[in-house]
């Protein structure tokens, strides 16, 4: 009966969660899992859970966001370029679905920029011109939607810093962005209990390189 019930809900596009509390509870659990995953298997389990929630909660962007985030985290751990690209393809597909639900959500656009940024790492010499441009374009758009988005600021700082190092140019602008991101991380508040909170440690690592 449970299987039939879920199948009917999927057909109707209605929620399998009795109320928002159940949704927040399930999402909160999986968000913690994706943030604390130590292995690729744990990350994939969390991604699968987000995908199941997204299949039911068709009006929510957050499950798709965290599914994409998990795939990006898998990509950052993968040495093989083809596999890395495959994870990033999966991430981008989920981001596109989420953007259809919440096109003005700054966090989604910032995450899209993150995908492009990791694409560069597969082959910086050949991919840099295309994907660094796409990533910066996405970060600027994210900041246009929310000028104080700390993740967009931190990711843009990372991209600028890496590009400056690659070309042997000044990192001053990147470090200025990183300092601005640090300020915004300390001020960041959201009415959405499922809003992303990652990125502060990553930015702190960059700040050390700026000293």
CA distances from 183 to 86, 141, 153, 179, 188 (A): 35, 20, 10, 6, 9
- Cβ proximity of 34 and 79 under 8 Å: no
- The helix/strand count (H/E) of the chain reads as 11, 0
| pLDDT bucket at 19, cuts 50 / 70 / 90 | low
The predicted model scores a pTM of: 0.88
Residue 6, pLDDT above cutoff 60: no
CA 204 to chain centre: 18
Return the pLDDT at 191.
Answer: 92
How confident is the model over 120-161, as pLDDT tens digits? 999 988 998 899 999 999 999 999 999 999 999 999 999 999
> How many Cα atoms within 13 Å fall on the side-chain side of residue 45?
12
Residues 6+ apart with CB under 8 A from 138: 109, 110, 112, 113, 116
Q: What average pLDDT does the segment 160-165 reach?
A: 91
How confident is the model over 54-66, as pLDDT tens digits? 999 999 999 999 9
């Amino acid at each position: 009966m449970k299987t039939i019930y879920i199948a009917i809900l999927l057909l109707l596009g209605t929620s399998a969660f009795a109320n928002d509390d159940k949704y927040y509870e399930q999402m909160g659990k999986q968000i913690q899992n994706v943030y604390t995953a130590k292995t690729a298997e744990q990350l994939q389990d969390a991604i699968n859970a987000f995908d199941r929630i997204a299949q039911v909660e068709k009006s929510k962007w957050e499950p798709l966001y965290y599914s994409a985030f998990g795939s990006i985290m898998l990509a950052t751990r993968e040495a093989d370029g083809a596999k890395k690209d495959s994870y990033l393809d999966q991430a981008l597909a989920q981001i596109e679905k989420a953007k259809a639900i919440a096109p003005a959500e700054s966090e989604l656009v910032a995450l899209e920029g993150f995908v492009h940024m990791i694409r560069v790492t597969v082959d910086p010499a050949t991919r840099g011109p295309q994907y660094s441009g796409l990533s910066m374009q996405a970060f600027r758009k994210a900041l246009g939607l929310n000028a104080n988005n700390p993740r967009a600021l931190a990711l843009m700082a990372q991209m600028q810093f890496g590009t400056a190092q690659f070309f042997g140019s000044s990192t001053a602008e990147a470090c200025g962005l990183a300092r601005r991101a640090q300020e915004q991380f300390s001020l960041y508040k959201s009415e959405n209990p499922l809003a992303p909170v990652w990125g502060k440690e990553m930015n702190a690592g960059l700040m050390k390189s700026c000293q």
